[in-house]
Structure 1
């Protein structure tokens, strides 16, 4: 049916609806697109992002949740944001149970005595003080262990040998990391007294990758550790010879008490709608083996420097921008969960969010999770990023680990996809240090984040809420 056959009142109603929809469709003013491009170019000529990471890794270093390094990082974050001139700086408490690493050693006792390089997995229980010796039983991957007969590992140390596949988008991590997270309880359910896994990483260095694991309720807790890749190869070679292989492992880890850390927040306060805000952030904690330069000092440098560039404009953006340095991401997204709970009654004030937590490789794609009518505006944003080598991808963004709790409450999110080809060479190892960061790549990241943050704060309309992703 055409409009000429409709009653005039209905025609008017239809036209008003179309007009309202047009008003609701998000867009950017040409002047704002121009400012975003200028901010992009400023970022490419600034070294502030690198200076921030250098400061964090030098003045604080390792900052595992609940340690003195964690407390020092919170003080550092507050001081840094104030030094940079943020309009508001504050902290919000995050409370959790702590874990402490102790001695960690392993060796092959028979048939070919040799030392092994291991590291305990986060929240592993300890072995007896004089160590744990048992025969090794090998499994190709976690599924092979799950599907094995009951009691097959009775009195033995399980060894899971699965290898992580290298990929630019890090997609090999998910399938491999299940062995770290679930392996201990699955092994214990089959009667094992301990577990060793091939490190969840893509390097061949003789250093092990730590990371979080968990125990299932009602199943005995057994010591859990990761082997360096060369030592996992060594163990495979010994087992291939057909003789029983006995390993001794000694782990002195222990549970600590409850501890309260803090999310550290700096705000660029909006000029027109200060109660509405854009989140850009990263996690402030790290594991204890390296200095946390890539995971996630780089993200702290990128997002803080991006916001500082916006602070330098003659006028504040329409909406606020919050840089959140999340506490204790590594041991269960604790800071992200605390922030989502503390702000659950004001979810609609969050215009959108993005987290930088994948190292310092160049961004190659921007993905969104927004209402369909906002996608043209996202593509406009991507056009400003094109000179950086970034293109629009899809509308299935995840946003970043610490944003999972907020994402579950329905906020829109963006993923600025970094090249992570070599990220898992260093992830959760002593080799996560400042020298692994390429300053040029870091600047490219900051340039992308400043475009995202500024345009999101200035946009006409909104990206939508109510997606309720899990």
Structure 2
């Protein structure tokens, strides 16, 4: 008996040593491939410069889906586009906005997503400020003044300098005065819009019904030259976002009685009902093909720019990791699947649909790794409320090169993510899903959903760092002899409500976006 135990122990030791050596060799190969033969810059160029923004329901989104499938196939990776719903089809055209009185100047502007078209001839009209009213009844009476006019519905910003610029250069008294003046102006504007009795969505619709020629907004992102760019709420008249600098000039012209006039050409085309897709690719497992390691990144973007850091960088991280794994690890123990989700920006729709439509995959997910929030190197990983997440995530992270993990803080067991990105769709279904959270690079002010989210904002050294992390984690999760635990923590009572917190529940996707339900 003792001899048999000794032989078994020796076998275990020799097996463990061999596995450790093979793991070290694989990690070294991954690092060498990621650093010496990277395709990140080429992927970014093809996706961002050639395809461009990827708004759900647009031809560019479908072009991106097809591009990704073909790219995976060129690496001998099986890939497909999987339809999960329908969306309001729309395609952006040329936007050109000119001040034509009291002087001539072309303005920095763009139509918002799904904005109605002006046609090629455009629309010419005077610009006025949203009428001030005492209450909703008074506002209804004053709506007559908007007929045939472009109406400005955003607060004019008193400064286009971000606060950190003021803090660096202004006197303390001047900085505090500016903030006080801005707060006062914000309150005055809040009262003006509140008096209408209408929500942010309802206000443009009421102005449209009253005969306005168009809606003009400016949603400053608190950075130099940066605006958030989302969607319009009008059905017949154009909605235009104008830069803080040009919006402020127009506002002053209108306020001082100079009666500014604009000519707006905002071409677009409505395309009816179009299908929308997730792009799925996979490297089939050789020993446990029915178990899955999932790489996750949403594919869609808003279209104020090209969606470089939200989420072009997450997309190319997962694509490059898959390319490397296919080349160096073509026969993984478990199936490695990548999901490029559609319509994350409108509510995690692509990933929610996948979770709903593929319970067999969700049930057998070993781990999911999601990357979404910008170009920075990963600096935080949470256990998302899985009680034993440290046991396996910690084991896998140990094999990642130290120069990659030195930046990373972990939070175990953490609490379940309830939104924000696609990992939350899987967490809600009980699958061990983890967000690879990046450092900022001023993401929230400068590139998140803005008109400046472009190729030049990518920091490729950080993105390569994330490729190495993702590829090694995927390899370790695939090779791990143990199935990951899904045991959840006992959630505490909410400090806000005092009620017992519960695990988030799965939600289905919006399957008919912007369309009338059947």
Shorter-normalised TM-score: what interval? 0.7 to 0.9
Aligned to 2:464: 443
Match of residue 89, structure 1, among 59, 62, 79: 79
Query: How large is the Cα RMSD of the aligned pairs?
Result: 4.1
**1:65, distance to aligned residue in structure 2 (A):** 3.9
SS in structure 1 at match of 2:110 = strand
User: C-alpha separation between the residues in 2 aligned to 1:196 and 1:363?
Assistant: 38
Go from structure 1 to structure 2 and tell me whether the alpha carbon gap of 1:354 and 1:196 turns closer, same or farther (over 3 Å shift): farther
State yes or no: 1:185 paired with 2:185.
no
User: C-alpha separation between the residues in 1 aligned to 2:163 and 2:432?
Assistant: 29
**1:158, distance to aligned residue in structure 2 (A):** 4.3
Deviations 1:261-284, CA, capped at 9 Å, x for gaps: 432211122233211212213233
State yes or no: 1:371 paired with 2:368.
no
Question: How many pairs align?
Answer: 416
User: C-alpha separation between the residues in 2 aligned to 1:336 and 1:432?
Assistant: 23
Aligned to 2:10: none
State yes or no: 1:415 paired with 2:435.
yes
Q: Is the 8 A contact 1:361 1:420 kept in 2?
A: yes
Aligned to 2:230: 211
Match of residue 357, structure 2, among 300, 321, 342: 342
State yes or no: 1:358 paired with 2:373.
yes
SS in structure 1 at match of 2:376 = coil
User: C-alpha separation between the residues in 2 aligned to 1:136 and 1:319?
Assistant: 61
The higher radius of gyration belongs to 2
Go from structure 1 to structure 2 and tell me whether the alpha carbon gap of 1:418 and 1:138 turns closer, same or farther (over 3 Å shift): farther
Pairwise mapping of residues 80-159 of structure 1 onto structure 2 (< 5 A)?
80-86=71-77, 88-94=78-84, 95-106=86-97, 115-126=106-117, 130-131=123-124, 133-137=126-130, 149=136, 152=139, 154=143, 155-156=145-146, 157-159=151-153
User: C-alpha separation between the residues in 1 aligned to 2:293 and 2:420?
Assistant: 14
Pairwise mapping of residues 5-84 of structure 1 onto structure 2 (< 5 A)?
34=24, 37-38=27-28, 41-42=31-32, 43-57=34-48, 59-84=50-75
**1:428, distance to aligned residue in structure 2 (A):** 5.0
User: C-alpha separation between the residues in 2 aligned to 1:223 and 1:401?
Assistant: 30
User: C-alpha separation between the residues in 1 aligned to 2:127 and 2:289?
Assistant: 62
**Any stretches of 5+ residues in structure 2 without a counterpart?**
1-18, 165-192, 194-198, 489-502, 507-518
Aligned to 1:390: 408
**1:294, distance to aligned residue in structure 2 (A):** 3.0
Aligned to 1:199: 219
**Any stretches of 5+ residues in structure 1 without a counterpart?**
1-28, 140-144, 168-178
**1:78, distance to aligned residue in structure 2 (A):** 1.4
User: C-alpha separation between the residues in 2 aligned to 1:98 and 1:54?
Assistant: 25
User: C-alpha separation between the residues in 1 aligned to 2:278 and 2:259?
Assistant: 47
Aligned to 2:11: none
**1:303, distance to aligned residue in structure 2 (A):** 0.6
User: C-alpha separation between the residues in 2 aligned to 1:230 and 1:197?
Assistant: 12
User: C-alpha separation between the residues in 2 aligned to 1:162 and 1:465?
Assistant: 51
TM-score (norm 1): 0.72
User: C-alpha separation between the residues in 1 aligned to 2:394 and 2:473?
Assistant: 11
**1:209, distance to aligned residue in structure 2 (A):** 4.7
Go from structure 1 to structure 2 and tell me whether the alpha carbon gap of 1:306 and 1:243 turns closer, same or farther (over 3 Å shift): same
**1:310, distance to aligned residue in structure 2 (A):** 2.5
Q: Is the 8 A contact 2:447 2:453 kept in 1?
A: yes
- The more displaced of 245-254 and 42-51 is 245-254
Deviations 1:104-156, CA, capped at 9 Å, x for gaps: 444567778755322122123456963554521399xxxxx9x9756547355
Deviations 1:352-380, CA, capped at 9 Å, x for gaps: 32332233222222223142122343334
Q: Is the 8 A contact 1:364 1:418 kept in 2?
A: yes
- The more displaced of 420-429 and 187-196 is 187-196
TM-score (norm 2): 0.66
Go from structure 1 to structure 2 and tell me whether the alpha carbon gap of 1:341 and 1:137 turns closer, same or farther (over 3 Å shift): same
**1:431, distance to aligned residue in structure 2 (A):** 4.7
User: C-alpha separation between the residues in 1 aligned to 2:418 and 2:478?
Assistant: 20
Pairwise mapping of residues 257-406 of structure 1 onto structure 2 (< 5 A)?
257-288=272-303, 290-313=305-328, 316-330=331-345, 333-344=348-359, 346-385=361-400, 386-388=402-404, 389-393=407-411, 395-396=414-415, 397=417, 401-406=421-426
User: C-alpha separation between the residues in 2 aligned to 1:68 and 1:187?
Assistant: 27
Deviations 1:204-242, CA, capped at 9 Å, x for gaps: 23x755323557xxxx88643322132234345557x66
Go from structure 1 to structure 2 and tell me whether the alpha carbon gap of 1:342 and 1:149 turns closer, same or farther (over 3 Å shift): same
Flag the structure with more relative contact order, 1 or 2, with Cα contacts below 8 A and sequence separation at least 6: 1
